[in-house]
Amino acid sequence: MSYPSKHLLAIEGLEPPHIADLLDLAESYALLNRSGKTQRDLLKGRTLINLFFEDSTRTRTSFELAGKRLGADVINMSVSTSSVNKGETLLDTASTLNAMQCDLLVIRHAQSGAPALLSQKVDAAVINAGDGTHEHPTQALLDALTIRRHKGSLQGLVVAICGDIAHSRVARSNIHLLTTMGSRVRVVGPPTLIPADAARLGVEVFHDMKAGLKDADVVMMLRLQRERMSGGLVPSAREFFRFYGLDAEKLALAKPDSIVMHPGPMNRGVEIDSAIADHPTRSVIGEQVEMGVACRMAVLDVLARRLPRNR
């Protein structure tokens, strides 16, 4: 296993063999999970703390499940930042976590860079579970695993990431991962929702959804992340759906065997039509959630290998 770091803070900086090894290990966990077997000795005696400063459904639950399936003691801490200075809280929290002798720390925070800051202050291996608009590395891994299972390889695929790219850490992590692994990535959305530096990331930019979807192998839809928007960057939800919502008519332009993805939470009727979200053959949204557990097991496994022996 070629993984290069004590932590998982971002996809940016990982090289193809690091990503391929993580995906191969995650694939073996996907098979193990489907077989109903467990491996509860692997993280026995290890403590995993889920520290979430922002809401989460899938990510927090799947880290919890992943930790438990590998035998770790899992503790969930939900922290409200409403009335406190965030920098101060983080550093206070770091010393508390060190005192608790936490081995693996999963953190989600509204500020980009918070997990990296924390990683300098704690002894634990730190996993970024989403920081501001920066990165969400385990989401990109689970997306890549889902794509690989359907398409065999990431090399040469055309992947259209559509919607609110500017505020999406999912988009950034996916762009880094997919371009590193040889996919051709398009970002599709209105100019107000595409970051100014998009072309620098090695992607093609489309403002016309139909042109952006043409012959795509993978269509990845993103939610409008209003909590990170200042001011009205989109007219109305109805207008947005008309131009950028994925419905059968627009999807017909992608390859006939293309798959549809969404990291959740979905806003049906805004970025995606219900019939597409629930499509029995084209939508792989449920499988993404399943692969999330497998990928998080792989990440916990790989990082735990580098930890000092159990205290």
Annotated binding residues for L-aspartate, as ranges?
86, 169, 223
Q: Report the nearest approach of ligand ASP to the CB of residue 230 (Å).
A: 17
Nearest CB to ligand ASP, comparing residues 15 and 55: 55
Nearest CB to ligand ASP, comparing residues 162 and 170: 170
Q: Report the nearest approach of ligand ASP to the CB of residue 130 (Å).
A: 4
Paired tokens of 101: 């002798």
Nearest CB to ligand ASP, comparing residues 258 and 288: 288
Q: Report the nearest approach of ligand ASP to the CB of residue 41 (Å).
A: 31
Q: Report the nearest approach of ligand ASP to the CB of residue 215 (Å).
A: 26
Q: Report the nearest approach of ligand ASP to the CB of residue 206 (Å).
A: 20
Nearest CB to ligand ASP, comparing residues 103 and 271: 271
Residue ranges at the known binding site:
58-59, 86, 108, 136, 139, 169, 223, 264-265
Residue ranges at the known binding site for carbamoyl phosphate:
58-59, 108, 136, 139, 264-265
Nearest CB to ligand ASP, comparing residues 138 and 258: 138
CA distances from 203 to 97, 174, 175, 178 (A): 39, 11, 8, 10
Q: Report the nearest approach of ligand ASP to the CB of residue 263 (Å).
A: 4
Residues found near ligand ASP in the complex (CB under 6 A) = 130, 136, 169-170, 223, 225, 263-264
Nearest CB to ligand ASP, comparing residues 136 and 176: 136
